[in-house]
Structure 1
Amino acid sequence: MSFSVFFTGLGMGLSLIVAIGAQNAFVLRQGLKGEHVFAVSLACALSDAILIVVGVTSFARVATWLPWIDPVMRYGGAAFLIWYGARSMLAAMRADEALSVSETGAARTLSATLLTCLAFTWLNPHVYLDTVVLLGTISTQFPGQQASFIAGAVTASFAFFFALGYGAALLRPVFAKPVAWRILEVVIALVMWGIALKLILAA
C-alpha cells in the first residue's frame, strides 16, 4: 500500500465528487428529511466504487493496447476539467445557483427512493467521465500502484456520501445560505483547474 498514492486517489475522488449536482442534492435532501439515509448513501458509494474499479483497471489495459488513447483522454479530460472549473466559478458568481434544501414532501418508499437515487447516479453521463475516464486516466500515472489509488478514491466516495447524508442536518444552517455554496464552488473551480494543469504537465 502506497500512502502517497492512496491520498492522491482520496484527494482526486473528493475533488470530483463534491461538485453540486443532482445526485449530491438528492442525498443532501434525504439527509435533511431523515429518510432512508443509510440506503441512499450506500447505494451512491457502492455505485461509485464499481465505476472507479472498472475505470482504473480497464482504462489501464485499454491504454496498453491502444497507446493513443491515453493522450486523447488526458487532454480531453483536462479540457473538461477546465470547462467544469469555469462552470463552477460562474455558478459562484450567481446567487441564484445556491441549492435550496428546504424541499419538503410526503415520505417515499425505500424502493422508490433507491430507484430515484440510482437514476441520478447511473443515468448521469458525467459520472462516467469522472470515475471511468478521469480517474482512470489519472491512475495511469501510478503503474503497479493502482490498488492504492482505487482504495483512496473509493474511501473518498464512502466518506463523502455518508458524511453528506448524516451530516446534512448539521450543515443546513450553513448551506441554506447562498454564500456558502459560492465559496464551495470557488474551491471546486480551483481544484479542477489544478488537476487539469497536472494532467497537461504530466503528458
Structure 2
Amino acid sequence: MPGTLLAAAAGLGTGLSLIVAIGAQNAFVLRQGIRREHVPAVVAICALSDAVLIAAGVSGIGAVVRAWPEAVTVVTWIGGAFLVCYGLLAARRALRPAGLAPGGGRGGGAGRSLRASVLTCLALTWLNPHVYLDTVLLLGSVANSYGTERWAFGVGAATGSVLWFAGLGFGGRLLGGLFARPGAWRVLDIVIACTMTALGVLMIARG
C-alpha cells in the first residue's frame, strides 16, 4: 500500500507539473469559467481526454506514437493553424470588449453554443501535439518506470487533471466581478490572442 500511494502521489505531482502552465487549453477553460458557459462539459472533456491519453501512455501506446512521427507532424500543422485562427478571433474580440451580463454571460454578443464549446475544446485538446508528447510519451515513460505500480501513477496523474481543470473552470466564476468591466476582458483577450497565436506559429515552424 505505501508503494501504491507513493506512485499515485508521484503521478499527481508529475501530472500537475505538466498541465499547470499558460497554454491554449487552460486559457480556453479559464475563459469559459469566467463566462460561466458550459463549464461542466468543458471540464469533463478536458479531464476525460487526459485520462484516456494517460491510460494510453501507461498501456505502452507511446511506443506506437514514437514509431509514427509523421502522425505527430500532421497534427502539429493542423493544430498550429487552428491556434492561429483562434488567436485572431480573440484579437478581434479585444477590439470590441464587453463586460459580463448580470446572468454571468458576456454582454455585447451572443454566447457560445454548447456544440461550439465542445468542438473547440476537443480541437484544443486533441490537435495539440504536445499532449501526445507530454501525456502519452513522457507520463507513460515515467509511469512504466514504477513497474507494477504504474497504474497507481496513472490514477494520480488523472486525478491531478480533474483537480486542475475543475478548479480552473469552476473557480473562474470568482473573477466575475473583475470581468464585469470591458477593460478586463480586453486584457484577457489580448493575452489569449498572443498566447494562441504564438503557440500556433511555433507549432507550424517546428512542424
- TM-score grouping bracket, smaller chain normalisation: 0.5 to 0.7
User: Using the alignment, how far apart are the partners of 2:175 and 2:140 within structure 1?
Assistant: 32
Structure 1 residues 171 and 13, CA gap change in structure 2 (3 angstroms): farther
Q: Could you say what secondary structure the match of 2:60 adopts? A: helix
SS of 1:4's partner is helix
Q: Quote the offset at 1:16 in angstroms.
A: 0.2
Structure 1: 4+ residue segments shifted above 3 A: 102-105
Amino acid at match of 2:143: S
User: 2:152 is aligned with what amino acid?
Assistant: S
Is contact 2:143-2:151 (8 Å) kept? no
- The answer to whether structure 1 residue 16 and structure 2 residue 24 are counterparts is no
The whole-number CA distance in structure 2 between the counterparts of 1:171 and 1:36 is 16
Query: Is the partner of 1:53 in helix, strand or coil?
Result: helix
- The aligned residue for residue 137 of structure 1 is 141
Deviations 1:176-197 (A, max 9, x none): 799xx9xxxxxxxxxxxxxxxx
The CA distance in 2 between the partners of 1:135 and 1:23, in whole Å, is 18
1:50 aligned residue (42, 52, 63): 52
Q: Which residue of 2 aligns with 1:157?
A: 161
Q: Which residue of 1 aligns with 2:71?
A: none
Query: Residue 59 of structure 1 contacts residue 137 of structure 1 at CA under 8 Å; is this kept in 2?
Result: no
Aligned partner of residue 121 in structure 1, secondary structure: helix
User: Is structure 2 residue 126 aligned with structure 1 residue 122?
Assistant: yes
Percent identity among equivalent residues? 54
1:89-100 aligned at under 5 Å gives the runs: none
Measured in 2, the distance between the counterparts of 1:21 and 1:36 equals: 20
Change (3 A) 1:12 1:171: farther
For normalisation by structure 2, the TM-score amounts to: 0.61
Aligned mates of 1:171, 1:8 — CA distance in 2 = 31
Residue 143 of structure 2 contacts residue 150 of structure 2 at CA under 8 Å; is this kept in 1? yes
Cα distance between partner residues in 1 of 2:144 and 2:38? 37
Aligned counterparts, 1:1-203, within 5 A: 2-59=4-61, 62=63, 104=106, 105-170=109-174
Q: C-alpha distance in 2, partners of 1:38/1:108?
A: 14
Superposed displacement of residue 118, structure 1: 0.3
Q: Which residue is 1:185 aligned to?
A: none
Q: Which runs of 5+ in 2 are unaligned?
A: 67-93, 99-105, 179-183, 192-207
CA distance in 1, matches of 2:48, 2:12: 16
TM-score, normalised to structure 1, is 0.62
Gaps of 5+ in 1: 64-68, 70-99, 182-203
SS of aligned partner of 2:172 = helix
Amino acid at match of 2:166: F
Question: CA shift at 1:59, angstroms?
Answer: 4.7
